[in-house]
Chains A and B, each alone.
Chain A
Amino acid sequence: MKKDFLVRQKDQETKFFMELPKEGKPVLTKGKTSWELDIKSFGEGRYNVLHEGRVYDIHLERNKNEWTAFWRGRKVVFELFDERILRRSGGVPQSEKSGTISSPMPGKVVKISAKEGRTVKSGEGLIVVEAMKMENEFKAPRDGVVKAIKVSEGDAVEGGQTLIEIE
């Protein structure tokens, strides 16, 4: 079985294909280079991989097309699309990242720089919430248009409360 894939990390896109031969180990090929991977699954996203004798212990979590991988106490996030998804969306899908910004903890809204109806870019600072004696600026998770601002400057907010919605 052979499938094409596209990875998106931040703004970078990478293509590769993956083969699972009937006999032999899975192989990932990117450009002209191939990686033969001896993959052992332990269930629930836990994997042990041998590549040229080197050992990799990896844990994966998945939320639709968004993946989180843990390796040696470190974490990395990326989006992965296979050819089926690419065909269905007619290309690379728009980020499925939720356009909702919520405060992870209780605090107070100190400053709002977003405006309803305005276009924002991924990474743009939109709102500042003060909590646990520190100011935290929340940024746009992706490109879009500010659909709704649910709070005002000076409001107290609860953990998990929606602050801004982006379309």
Chain B
Amino acid sequence: MKKIKKILITNRGEIAVRIIRTCREMGIQTVVGFSEADRSSLFVAMADEAYLLGKAPSSESYLNLRKILEIAQKTNVDAIHPGYGFLSERSELSEACEQARILFVGPSAQAIAAMGDKIRARALAEKAKIPIIPGSFEPVSDLKQIQKLANDMKYPVLIKAAAGGGGKGMRVVKKNEELSSAFQMASSEAKKAFGDERVYVEKVVEKPRHVEIQIARDFHGNGLFLFERECSTQRRHQKIIEEAPCADLKEDVRQKMAEASLRLAEAVDYHGVGTVEYLLDDKQNFYFLEMNTRLQVEHTVTEMITGLDLVRLQILMAQGEKLPSQKMIQKRGHAIQCRIYAEDPYQNFLPCPGTLTFYEPPEGPGIRHDTGVVAGSRIPVDYDPLIAKLVVHAETRELAIQKMLRALSEYKLGGVTSNLEFLQTLIASKEFIQGKIHTQFLDAHPEFEKQHDDFPFEIIFGVAAYEMMTSLEAPASESPQTSIWYGNQSSWRLQGMIEGLK
């Protein structure tokens, strides 16, 4: 057991802030590396020590393993916390830590590599008797083979390129008659895109739900089930809204998924927190998708319903301590998270980086807000345009929805375009309120990507006109007190407005 006194956080933005906060509560010194684009960021301001990694591009900064290790050695840290994304799922960092005798807050390089390889992960899951999506284990290039596989699995099936993804070389086949031509098209597309015409065949789960299980496992072989999260509200495979627990999950299914996930963790001798992702069909049959060997963006909702600090658990486990027992873990109420992005949903979700001219997140009971920005911060072009994660917690899902709608309408930000209004539309939609969501439900609602026109226009135009008219004369003092400071303030403001009009 080694007590961690100093940690290097190899990440940025809101998750770096999140980790720094827990470290501070635990009396652990924090070191961060930052890119040139992040010199003025909140996470740098909050750390105890900060060192320049390199230029803005991730490859020169947050993925720059050599530089990161240099900083780790120089600052004599006891541990490295990778956050999510960046190097967290590359086994090289875990490996390098092992070599350098630095604790890695995460699993071993072997576990990361095993779960990182999708084919291997699937094979391991099957071996651990975890249901997987029926499909071919090896790529096929023979029509007869595919025909047999498809007939065994039953339609609809998905033909996917073996050598790559991104939708290229993919075809959904609904019936046997379509198989031959779909196979031809997928193969030739795959050959053109990846130079390899081989394909896989997989069963299609229609209107699937994405449900993931949060687990933790310490160095003593103790595993913990920390409930599930529903992440079915997605767009183009990007999660937008996450919640815990599921709106609708049978208790026996929950138990089976929990056991399966812990079995998989044991099979790869997993250490740390991890998430096992599944697809659920309309009968709540679950199928293994993949395992994420790190803390996730949506860990927040799990924390809200359990009262646990997962970052703290990560650090304790890295130190070699024992997890609490399963019976100490309770869930309470319902939590929902919305990811607030600097993007324009009404222009095809175009990212809109820029400067946050004003920023007032909502507050009040049951509100949690994780962010890496403040008013005046820049949302840089070089990284994911996440502004913040807004999380609510209430006694029931219905109350959580009401609270989220309230919080979203209270949210004030300017200077960048955000998806706030789009999120309001989603949460208020019939499907979401009824809990009847699946990963394709947004595809059926192109109207969500059209902005509603019901603004109080006369009020807005009136205020703008008022501002134009009053900026041309000295504004009446708003304060009953008159002092030279207030007087100066108004004339500075007036001067500023006049300058702005030029």
Contact = CB atoms under 8 A, between A and B. Distances in A.
B365 interface: no
Contact of B458 (A3, A30, A70, A105): A30
B269 interface: no
A18 B458 CA distance: 11
Contacts of B358: 44-46, 59
B321 interface: no
B463 A74 contact: no
Contacts of B465: 3, 5, 16, 18, 28, 80, 82
Interface stretch (A114-122, A131-139, A146-154): A131-139
Is chain A's binding surface mostly helix, strand, loop or mixed? strand
* Best-buried of A1, A104, A106, A158 by chain B (most CB within 10 Å): A104
B464 A80 contact: yes
Contacts of B493: 43
A59 B410 CA distance: 12
Contacts of B467: 41, 45, 47, 60, 62
* Best-buried of B413, B469, B475 by chain A (most CB within 10 Å): B469
Contacts of B350: 104, 136
B406 to A, nearest CB: 10
Interface in B452-493: 455-456, 458-470, 475, 478, 493
Is chain B's binding surface mostly helix, strand, loop or mixed? mixed
Interface stretch (B257-265, B278-286, B415-423): B415-423
Interface string A47-70: 101010000111111100001111
B324 interface: no
B137 interface: no
Contacts of A5: 461, 465, 468
Interface residues of A, number: 55
Q: Which 9 A-B pairs have the closest CB atoms?
A: A159-B381, A73-B420, A28-B462, A18-B465, A74-B421, A72-B409, A105-B381, A69-B460, A73-B411
Given A39-B466, A132-B351, A137-B348, 12 more contacts: A16-B465, A28-B461, A41-B478, A45-B414, A47-B463, A58-B459, A61-B414, A69-B463, A71-B456, A73-B420, A73-B424, A74-B455
Interface of A: 1, 3, 5, 7, 14, 16, 18, 20, 26, 28, 30, 35, 37, 39, 41-47, 49, 51, 56-62, 67-76, 78, 80, 82, 104-106, 131-134, 136-137, 158-160
